[in-house]
Amino acid sequence: MSASKDGGPAFPIPIASTPDGCVYSTMEQSAGKLGGIVVTASDFEAKAAECEGLRDDVAKVTNLYASALGRALSAEARVKELEKYREDEHARMLSWRDIEPDEFCETCGGSGTRVYGSTATWRGGIGGQALTADVCDKCWGSGNKHRAWPSMRVRLVGEG
């Protein structure tokens, strides 16, 4: 095995052909015909160390991704659990008011009250800048979309 220009060994290449069809047995011999590239053992060691560092980085990123994915799946399961709990609680509250789950008022959710964006409420009078809770103006407090209680507008104001 011959030495390269920087003193390291020149490794034999089993097949190193150039465009002119010549085959060379060592890196040193092929360097002239292959663009002056000479690779030494120290070059290989440096690249191997660099690759090892990249492998470590990839392993760290993979572990972080797996951890994040696990937390995301856990959070997603918790969200589904809470959504189911919310649906069950809503159905329980509707049954407490004797309202079937498919009959609740969409405007107030079956509670019979809602929050208005000003102090005017359903009466339509002059209001301030505050949120005001009052009777729902769709079901008039019944919470049932099919059995609305008497309209306060008709009773008090005469609107229809």
Of 120, 117, 152, 147, nearest to 137 by C-alpha is 152
Q: Of 30-34, 42-46, 99-103, 137-141, which range is least confident?
A: 30-34
Task: Indicate the pLDDT class of residue 143, thresholds 50, 70 and 90.
Answer: very high
Instruction: Report the C-alpha gap between 36 and 55 in whole angstroms.
Output: 30
Reported pTM: 0.45
Phi, psi of 79, rounded to the nearest 5 degrees:
-65, -45
Instruction: Report the C-alpha gap between 140 and 94 in whole angstroms.
Output: 16
Instruction: Report the C-alpha gap between 30 and 24 in whole angstroms.
Output: 5
103-125 average pLDDT score: 81
